[in-house]
Amino acid sequence: MDKNNLRKRILSIRNGLKPEEAEQKSKVIMNKLTSLDEYKSSKVVFIYMSFKNEVNTYELIERMLSEHKRVVIPYTDTKNTEIIPSEIKQLKDDLVLNSFGYYEPVLEKIKQVKPEELDLIITPGVVFDESLNRVGFGKGYYDRILSKKRKDTKVIAVAYEFQVIDKVPTEPHDIKMDMIITEERIIQ
Ligand SMILES: Nc1ncnc2c1ncn2[C@@H]1O[C@H](COP(=O)(O)OP(=O)(O)O)[C@@H](O)[C@H]1O
Ligand SMILES: [Mg+2]
Protein backbone atom coordinates (compact mmCIF):
# COMPACT_ATOMS: atom_id res chain seq x y z
CA MET A 1 0.00 0.00 0.00
CA ASP A 2 1.29 3.51 -0.74
CA LYS A 3 2.11 6.03 2.00
CA ASN A 4 -1.11 7.99 1.55
CA ASN A 5 -3.42 5.03 1.88
CA LEU A 6 -1.48 3.76 4.87
CA ARG A 7 -1.78 7.18 6.53
CA LYS A 8 -5.55 7.22 6.02
CA ARG A 9 -6.03 3.70 7.28
CA ILE A 10 -3.97 4.04 10.44
CA LEU A 11 -5.23 7.56 11.23
CA SER A 12 -8.83 6.39 11.09
CA ILE A 13 -8.01 3.72 13.68
CA ARG A 14 -6.15 6.22 15.88
CA ASN A 15 -8.91 8.82 15.63
CA GLY A 16 -11.37 6.15 16.74
CA LEU A 17 -9.52 5.31 19.96
CA LYS A 18 -11.44 6.14 23.10
CA PRO A 19 -9.65 8.93 24.99
CA GLU A 20 -9.22 6.72 28.05
CA GLU A 21 -7.71 3.97 25.91
CA ALA A 22 -5.23 6.44 24.41
CA GLU A 23 -4.37 7.71 27.89
CA GLN A 24 -3.82 4.26 29.31
CA LYS A 25 -1.61 3.11 26.44
CA SER A 26 0.30 6.40 26.51
CA LYS A 27 1.15 5.84 30.16
CA VAL A 28 2.51 2.35 29.45
CA ILE A 29 4.60 3.67 26.55
CA MET A 30 6.02 6.59 28.51
CA ASN A 31 6.86 4.37 31.49
CA LYS A 32 8.94 2.21 29.16
CA LEU A 33 10.65 5.25 27.73
CA THR A 34 11.59 6.74 31.08
CA SER A 35 13.15 3.50 32.26
CA LEU A 36 15.68 3.49 29.39
CA ASP A 37 19.28 4.61 29.83
CA GLU A 38 18.89 6.66 26.66
CA TYR A 39 16.27 8.68 28.48
CA LYS A 40 18.06 8.88 31.82
CA SER A 41 21.35 10.05 30.34
CA SER A 42 19.85 12.72 28.07
CA LYS A 43 20.11 16.35 29.11
CA VAL A 44 18.50 18.05 26.11
CA VAL A 45 15.34 16.39 24.85
CA PHE A 46 13.29 17.35 21.83
CA ILE A 47 9.68 16.24 22.17
CA TYR A 48 6.53 16.88 20.15
CA MET A 49 3.39 18.41 21.63
CA SER A 50 0.70 15.77 21.29
CA PHE A 51 -2.72 16.47 19.81
CA LYS A 52 -5.85 14.48 19.06
CA ASN A 53 -5.13 10.83 19.91
CA GLU A 54 -1.36 10.90 19.49
CA VAL A 55 0.65 9.22 22.23
CA ASN A 56 0.30 11.84 24.95
CA THR A 57 3.46 13.76 25.78
CA TYR A 58 2.22 16.26 28.36
CA GLU A 59 2.93 14.26 31.49
CA LEU A 60 6.40 13.40 30.26
CA ILE A 61 7.13 17.04 29.51
CA GLU A 62 6.11 18.02 33.05
CA ARG A 63 8.28 15.24 34.44
CA MET A 64 11.30 16.29 32.36
CA LEU A 65 10.92 19.91 33.44
CA SER A 66 10.81 18.82 37.08
CA GLU A 67 13.90 16.63 36.52
CA HIS A 68 15.66 19.71 35.10
CA LYS A 69 16.19 18.30 31.67
CA ARG A 70 16.20 20.92 28.95
CA VAL A 71 12.92 20.50 27.04
CA VAL A 72 12.73 21.52 23.40
CA ILE A 73 9.49 21.53 21.40
CA PRO A 74 8.70 22.25 17.74
CA TYR A 75 7.74 25.59 16.32
CA THR A 76 6.36 24.70 12.91
CA ASP A 77 7.53 27.10 10.23
CA THR A 78 5.02 26.27 7.50
CA LYS A 79 6.55 28.76 5.07
CA ASN A 80 9.86 26.91 4.96
CA THR A 81 8.34 23.50 5.85
CA GLU A 82 10.74 23.38 8.74
CA ILE A 83 10.65 22.67 12.45
CA ILE A 84 12.38 25.28 14.58
CA PRO A 85 13.40 23.59 17.84
CA SER A 86 12.49 25.90 20.70
CA GLU A 87 13.29 25.48 24.40
CA ILE A 88 10.53 25.86 26.98
CA LYS A 89 10.80 26.32 30.74
CA GLN A 90 7.16 25.58 31.58
CA LEU A 91 3.90 24.49 29.94
CA LYS A 92 1.66 27.25 31.22
CA ASP A 93 2.41 30.44 29.32
CA ASP A 94 3.63 31.61 25.95
CA LEU A 95 2.15 28.70 23.98
CA VAL A 96 -0.58 29.00 21.35
CA LEU A 97 -2.53 26.54 19.23
CA ASN A 98 -1.16 26.51 15.69
CA SER A 99 -3.01 25.83 12.43
CA PHE A 100 -2.51 22.08 12.84
CA GLY A 101 -4.11 22.12 16.28
CA TYR A 102 -1.21 21.56 18.65
CA TYR A 103 0.50 24.02 20.96
CA GLU A 104 3.70 25.75 20.00
CA PRO A 105 5.68 28.72 21.32
CA VAL A 106 4.41 32.15 20.30
CA LEU A 107 6.75 33.52 17.65
CA GLU A 108 8.16 36.30 19.88
CA LYS A 109 9.08 33.79 22.60
CA ILE A 110 11.00 31.28 20.50
CA LYS A 111 14.27 30.24 22.14
CA GLN A 112 15.89 28.47 19.25
CA VAL A 113 18.10 25.48 19.95
CA LYS A 114 20.44 24.05 17.33
CA PRO A 115 19.58 20.49 16.21
CA GLU A 116 23.16 19.52 17.13
CA GLU A 117 22.44 20.32 20.80
CA LEU A 118 19.76 17.64 21.10
CA ASP A 119 20.65 14.41 22.93
CA LEU A 120 17.33 12.67 22.41
CA ILE A 121 14.54 13.25 19.88
CA ILE A 122 11.12 11.80 20.63
CA THR A 123 9.14 11.63 17.43
CA PRO A 124 5.48 11.19 16.64
CA GLY A 125 4.38 9.46 13.47
CA VAL A 126 1.47 7.88 11.69
CA VAL A 127 2.79 4.49 10.53
CA PHE A 128 5.99 2.60 11.34
CA ASP A 129 7.47 -0.74 10.35
CA GLU A 130 9.51 -3.51 11.92
CA SER A 131 12.66 -2.14 10.26
CA LEU A 132 12.34 1.22 12.10
CA ASN A 133 10.99 3.17 9.12
CA ARG A 134 8.58 6.02 9.73
CA VAL A 135 5.70 7.59 7.82
CA GLY A 136 4.51 10.97 9.09
CA PHE A 137 1.75 13.31 7.97
CA GLY A 138 3.39 13.71 4.58
CA LYS A 139 5.31 16.97 4.65
CA GLY A 140 8.71 15.61 5.64
CA TYR A 141 9.12 17.89 8.68
CA TYR A 142 10.81 15.21 10.77
CA ASP A 143 13.00 13.93 7.92
CA ARG A 144 14.32 17.48 7.58
CA ILE A 145 15.14 18.07 11.23
CA LEU A 146 16.55 14.56 11.72
CA SER A 147 18.94 15.13 8.84
CA LYS A 148 20.56 17.91 10.92
CA LYS A 149 21.07 16.08 14.21
CA ARG A 150 24.33 14.82 15.64
CA LYS A 151 25.22 11.28 14.74
CA ASP A 152 24.96 10.10 18.33
CA THR A 153 21.60 11.76 19.02
CA LYS A 154 19.06 9.02 19.76
CA VAL A 155 15.78 9.03 17.85
CA ILE A 156 12.96 7.28 19.65
CA ALA A 157 9.45 7.04 18.20
CA VAL A 158 6.43 6.45 20.41
CA ALA A 159 3.37 4.83 18.86
CA TYR A 160 0.51 2.44 19.51
CA GLU A 161 1.03 -1.15 18.45
CA PHE A 162 -1.55 -0.86 15.63
CA GLN A 163 0.63 1.82 14.03
CA VAL A 164 3.42 -0.71 13.40
CA ILE A 165 3.14 -2.88 10.30
CA ASP A 166 5.54 -5.29 8.52
CA LYS A 167 6.75 -2.86 5.91
CA VAL A 168 6.11 0.72 4.83
CA PRO A 169 7.28 2.27 1.55
CA THR A 170 10.45 4.34 1.93
CA GLU A 171 12.21 6.97 -0.12
CA PRO A 172 15.87 8.04 0.05
CA HIS A 173 15.08 11.12 2.19
CA ASP A 174 13.29 9.08 4.88
CA ILE A 175 15.25 8.81 8.11
CA LYS A 176 14.99 5.73 10.30
CA MET A 177 14.28 5.65 13.99
CA ASP A 178 16.75 4.13 16.47
CA MET A 179 13.90 2.68 18.47
CA ILE A 180 10.11 2.43 18.41
CA ILE A 181 8.26 2.03 21.71
CA THR A 182 4.69 0.74 21.75
CA GLU A 183 2.50 -0.40 24.65
CA GLU A 184 3.47 -3.98 23.77
CA ARG A 185 7.14 -3.93 22.82
CA ILE A 186 10.33 -2.09 22.00
CA ILE A 187 11.64 -2.41 18.45
CA GLN A 188 15.30 -1.67 17.85
N1 LIG B 1 15.69 16.46 4.10
C2 LIG B 1 14.80 16.88 3.20
N3 LIG B 1 15.06 17.98 2.46
C4 LIG B 1 14.17 18.43 1.57
N5 LIG B 1 12.97 17.86 1.34
C6 LIG B 1 12.65 16.78 2.05
C7 LIG B 1 13.53 16.24 3.03
N8 LIG B 1 12.95 15.18 3.59
C9 LIG B 1 11.74 15.06 3.00
N10 LIG B 1 11.55 16.01 2.08
C11 LIG B 1 10.36 16.18 1.22
O12 LIG B 1 9.19 16.15 2.00
C13 LIG B 1 8.14 15.54 1.27
C14 LIG B 1 7.35 14.62 2.15
O15 LIG B 1 8.15 13.54 2.61
P16 LIG B 1 7.48 12.20 3.18
O17 LIG B 1 8.61 11.31 3.59
O18 LIG B 1 6.48 11.66 2.22
O19 LIG B 1 6.67 12.76 4.43
P20 LIG B 1 6.57 12.20 5.91
O21 LIG B 1 7.96 11.79 6.33
O22 LIG B 1 6.03 13.35 6.68
O23 LIG B 1 5.64 11.03 5.86
C24 LIG B 1 8.77 14.80 0.11
O25 LIG B 1 8.35 15.39 -1.08
C26 LIG B 1 10.25 14.99 0.29
O27 LIG B 1 10.92 15.23 -0.93
MG1 LIG C 1 9.33 10.65 5.40
> What is the per-residue pLDDT for 87?
98
What's this model's pTM, rounded to 2 decimal places? 0.98
Using a 6 Å CB cutoff, which residues line ligand 1? 3, 135-140, 142-144, 147, 171, 173-174
- Residue minimizing CA distance to atom 17 of ligand 1: 140
Q: Choose which CATH entry (3.20.20.140, 1.10.600.10, 3.40.50.10420, 3.40.50.10790) describes domain 3-187.
A: 3.40.50.10420
Q: How far is the CA of 85 from the centre of ligand 2 (A)?
A: 18
Under-70 pLDDT residues of the chain? none
Please name which ligand lies nearest the alpha carbon of 3: 1
> What is the per-residue pLDDT for 185?
98
Pocket of ligand 1, candidates 8, 173, 174, 177: which has the most ligand atoms within 8 Å of its Cβ, to mutate? 173
Closest ligand 1 atom to residue 147 Cα is 1
> What is the per-residue pLDDT for 149?
98
Domain ranges in the chain are: 3-187
Write the DSSP assignment of the chain as a string of letters: --HHHHHHHHHHHHHTS-HHHHHHHHHHHHHHHHTSHHHHT-SEEEE----TTSPP-HHHHHHHHHTT-EEEEEEEETTTTEEEEEEES-SSSSEEE-TTSSEEE-GGG--B--GGG-SEEEE--SEEETTS-EE-SSS-HHHHHHTTS-TT-EEEEE--GGGEES-----TT----SEEE-SS-EE-
> What is the per-residue pLDDT for 39?
98
> What is the per-residue pLDDT for 101?
96
